[in-house]
Amino acid sequence: MTSDENNLMKESSLENRNDLTKMDEIPLVSRFGLYSIMQQDISTLSESQLQKVEEISFLVYDSMEAPSRSFHDIEHLSDLTKGADPIQTAAIIFHDIIYASTDGGLSDAQRKYIDDIIVEKDDGKIFITENKLEEDIEIVMEIFGFSYGQELNPFKGLNEFLSNCIATRFYKSLNLNNSSSSWPSLNAKITVCIEATIPFRGRDDEGRTAREALFHRLESANQKYKIGMSEDEMVEAIQRAAILSNRDVENFSSKDLADFLSNSFKLMPETNVALRGKTFYLSDYAIALKKMAGFLEFLDPNNIYSFFRDPHESMELREKTAIAKKNIRAALTYFQCIYLEMSLLSAIAELSGGDVPISYFRGDKPNSLSRGSSRQIHRFLKYRRKPSRSISYDPKVLRVLQKGLKKDIPFTTNTSPVASFLYTHIGDEGLQACMKHAVYPMDRENALLLLQCIPFQPMIEVLGACSQMAVFRSSKIKNIVNLLPPEYIESNAAITAAFKKKEKGVFLTMTRKLKYKFHHMLK
């Protein structure tokens, strides 16, 4: 091969390597750095600019792929950037970089950009500094409605604000625009997009929606700092931000309940450290489920999606809100079903010796050859496809409990056979009655009361199944029936009916049969 041919091969190789038209082929660690330059040709960047883009690529990747992330990760960014315009993309890249409570604080790489903006206290609280900052950051503060010396609330913009400050300082240092007059406008447009991703906000004290309030603060910043945006530009900026914020929570209006629930499960390890490990206890899962159910119970569907001065968008979002309302209602029932299962198992654990690893009662998750044949609790329960006609229930919830989620969840099984078993026996009314005693942490008093909330037949089946699973507690679990009051057994529907007919002989016979059946199941 001649030297000319060799050079030609090298040039061809370099051309292929630098072909960025197929973005999906670019490794994720580099991809978001390329997105950050907002469609500018990479060949036009200086070595200094390339170094800054590389540095921010590593920061984005390290932040989003942290072990604490399970939903707000690099995949989430990839999904959001599809179809986004350059300004939305710039905001997307940075909007979830900081997740202080989930990540256990800030990384050194993050602090490098914002260390002078914040004051971190020993108790973990974060405040905006009282020292004057550059105008670019003051614009961000104005648009967020924040001020010097203010404590930042983790649930009201701390993460988004600090993420935005990193974005602002990165883009200012990169200096993609030679026209300095356009930079404040670009900074403001990116900022309103990131601010709009603070979720689930209702109207403020003056009755304004989150987008109306954001427009008001943008107007104030535009005038105060002479940004130079026209009225139309500001309206367009808020509309762009609203579109992005709606995409960020788009899953709430999924027409597939199993898909919506799968994403809800992905969120749980971010707020429940115990679920990130390979093993955890019944109480760990119970509190995670309780928090998720509590969030759904108090979430107002009307505060999920938003629009701004766009009648067409208003009609579409009404439809999305209606779907979200149904999804939230069904998801609440679903998580309460699984929470009831965990609470019932926790009650049995409490009465037989204390908290246990979840697999002690449930069995191993069959995720390997060595665990594929592991004993499973549901194999000791009589499968019931649906409730009797007299029981009210949600067919969609039962279908997901029985058929499973759309995605594999590392810390649990896709199907929930025990929760399904209980739901088919008690339905919606029984589920709500049980919630009174499905407490966390479980105690002896509520454990006994919860057992009595479950009809006798399914209760003894679950006790029998647990005695088969927990080999070291089998006798203690069998003894739990002796802790229950006689009137509970007598409250069985069939016995009650016989008792109401005053057929005393039949009543006593049926009571003996049920007690015999219980002890027979526990052998």
Tell me: the pLDDT tens digits for 190-230? Answer: 999 999 999 999 999 999 999 999 999 999 999 999 999 99
Mean predicted confidence (pLDDT) in 26-42: 82
Could you give the CA distance from residue 66 to residue 58 in angstroms, rounded to a whole number? 12
Tell me: the pLDDT tens digits for 393-452? Answer: 999 999 999 999 999 999 999 999 999 999 999 999 999 999 999 999 999 999 999 999
Q: Please give the torsion angle defined by the CA atoms of residues 250, 252, 255 and 261, in that order, rounded to the nearest 10 degrees.
A: 120
Lowest mean pLDDT, pick from 5-9, 120-124, 165-169, 443-447:
5-9
Pairing mode, if any, of strands 126-128 and 118-120? antiparallel
pLDDT value at position 202?
A: 96
10 Å CB burial of residue 316 (0-12, 13-18, 19+) is: middle
pLDDT value at position 522?
A: 52
CB 293 within 8 A of CB 335: yes
The model's confidence at residue 179, banded by pLDDT at 50, 70 and 90, is: very low
Residue 258's nearest CA partner among 365, 421, 396 is 396
DSSP 361-401: HH-----STTTTT---GGGGS---SS--TTS---HHHHHHH
Mean predicted confidence (pLDDT) in 302-308: 96
CB 84 within 8 A of CB 95: no
Could you give the CA distance from residue 510 to residue 365 in angstroms, rounded to a whole number? 39
Distances (CA, A) of 218 to 5, 196, 199, 511: 58, 12, 18, 73
pTM (predicted TM-score): 0.89
Could you give the CA distance from residue 307 to residue 309 in angstroms, rounded to a whole number? 7
Tell me: the pLDDT tens digits for 70-80? Answer: 999 999 999 99
Lowest mean pLDDT, pick from 187-196, 319-328, 378-387:
378-387
DSSP 480: G
| Residue 10 confidence (pLDDT) above 90 | no
Could you give the CA distance from residue 470 to residue 480 in angstroms, rounded to a whole number? 14
Distances (CA, A) of 439 to 358, 401, 484: 17, 22, 19
Count CB atoms within 10 A of the CB of residue 502.
8
Alpha helices in 180-230 (DSSP H): 183-195, 210-224
CB 430 within 8 A of CB 451: no
pLDDT value at position 367?
A: 64
Tell me: the pLDDT tens digits for 463-496? Answer: 999 999 999 999 999 999 889 998 887 665 454 3
Mean predicted confidence (pLDDT) in 232-242: 98
Q: Which two tokens stand for residue 399?
A: 């279908």
| Residue 152 confidence (pLDDT) above 70 | yes
Lowest mean pLDDT, pick from 108-117, 293-302, 382-391, 392-401:
382-391
Lowest mean pLDDT, pick from 177-186, 300-309, 314-323, 376-385:
177-186
Residue 107 phi, psi dihedral angles, 5° rounding: -85, 165
